[in-house]
Amino acid sequence: MNRSLACAFCALLVSLCPALLRAQELSILGGATTSGAFNRTSKAWQVDYRQDIYQNFDASIAYINEGHFSDHKRDGTAWQAWANLPLFDDKVALSFGVGAYYYFDTQPAGVGDSIDVHGTAPIFSASLTGYLSDRWFYRVLVNRISPKSDIQTNQVMVGVGYWFGPNRRPLGIDPNKGAAEPEFVTPPQLTLFGGQSVVNTFFDEKAWAGALEYRQGIMPHLDGSATYIYEGNPKTIRRSGFAVQAWPVNTFVDKSTSVGIGVGPYFFIDRRHPGTQFRNSPAAIAPLVSLTLAHQITDNLVTRFVWDRVTSAYNRDADIFLVGLGYQWR
């Protein structure tokens, strides 16, 4: 899957999510990753958002960090469909998932440099989930990632998760039945951020970063944003620019906390790499995919965390971690 196809997949998700965001699970897992031949081992962790589509059928979006080998530092996003087998009066569920994994693999390239290899691989997963209550659960997860032109890996992870549905977890019934979902439209917000940028090289150059975002709900569960981003000066880049994104979003139980995923173009200038994409111009465009978590403090004040992933065309991918305070009005 090339970058344009991955962005189209994101756009499809954006169009579908407002209709699907009714019952959801968020889990955090950690464990180990091994190479395909089981001769190398590293740490692994994953953040997983799983969405009920119909009884015993789910879809999920996950961020997977496969750890560090001597010649590979790979992470990425997995998009999967799941079939569930409920056991023991719905207190345990055995699930099998299959999908596509869009990865970013940082590899050494000579003395003092590295390259960012982008690609897509099939991912096959199995999980065992035990529900500790009608909100909390534990999960054991196994992944197999099998790209054709990169290393194959396996992950075994254990973690905990929380059900964020509008009603208590509906054991054994259609998750779309039950309490009616309240309409949620994000009011206009202006947020100032500070944080850190990390360039994805083997040396993980870091710098202070900042951003200023205007966000507006377009329709229930879909936001639009316009953001100025300053990535700081982490030696290998000096990048800043303007991003426009669409965000499927959803609220938690009390509607004061929301999560979302954003996708859109990032128009930037890199003063350390002028003309990296367009001849005779220092400007360039990169896809920007982001995750956000926000909490409403008062009627007008909002705190927000954003994790941006910049996918470059010149081996300078970056993660930008931002925390901000925003003002909203109606």
The CA distance from 217 to 132, in Å, is: 35
Retrieve residue 292's tokens: 């956000």
- What's the confidence (pLDDT) of residue 330? 84
Query: Quick check: is 180 in a domain?
Result: no
Which of these three, 128, 145, 163, is where a domain ends?
163
- Give how many domains the chain has, as a whole number: 2
The CA distance from 327 to 305, in Å, is: 14
Query: Quick check: is 158 in a domain?
Result: yes
| Start-to-end Cα distance in the chain | 41
- What's the confidence (pLDDT) of residue 25? 87
Query: Quick check: is 145 in a domain?
Result: yes
Per-residue pLDDT of the chain (330 residues; tens, 9 = 90+): 444 344 434 444 443 444 444 557 889 999 999 987 778 899 999 999 898 888 889 999 999 999 988 788 899 999 999 999 999 888 899 999 999 999 999 888 777 678 889 999 999 999 999 999 888 999 999 999 999 988 999 999 999 998 876 665 655 444 555 555 557 789 999 999 999 999 988 777 899 999 999 999 999 889 999 999 999 998 888 899 999 999 998 887 677 888 899 999 999 999 887 555 545 566 889 999 999 999 999 999 999 999 999 998 888 899 999 999 999 998
User: Chain-centre distance of CA 64, in angstroms?
Assistant: 9
Retrieve residue 225's tokens: 């944003």
> Which CATH number belongs to the domain containing residue 201 in this structure?
2.40.160.20
Closest CA to 2 of 313, 276, 315: 313
Whole-prediction pTM: 0.84
Query: Quick check: is 119 in a domain?
Result: yes
Residues 222 and 145 reside in one and the same domain: no
Contacts of 5 (CB under 8 A, 6+ apart): none
Query: Quick check: is 310 in a domain?
Result: yes
| DSSP-derived secondary structure for 43-112 | EEEEEEEEEEEETTEEEEEEEEEEEE-SS-EEEEEEEEEEEEEEETTTTEEEEEEEEEEEEEEEEE-STT
- What's the confidence (pLDDT) of residue 15? 39
**DSSP 8-state assignment for residue 150:** S
Residues 30 and 155 reside in one and the same domain: yes
Residues 126 and 199 reside in one and the same domain: no
Residues 153 and 227 reside in one and the same domain: no
The CA distance from 100 to 77, in Å, is: 8
Residues 150 and 254 reside in one and the same domain: no
Residues 149 and 214 reside in one and the same domain: no
The CA distance from 175 to 171, in Å, is: 8
Query: Quick check: is 181 in a domain?
Result: no
Residues 198 and 148 reside in one and the same domain: no
Residues 30 and 149 reside in one and the same domain: yes
Residues 196 and 66 reside in one and the same domain: no
Domain interval for residue 242: 189-328
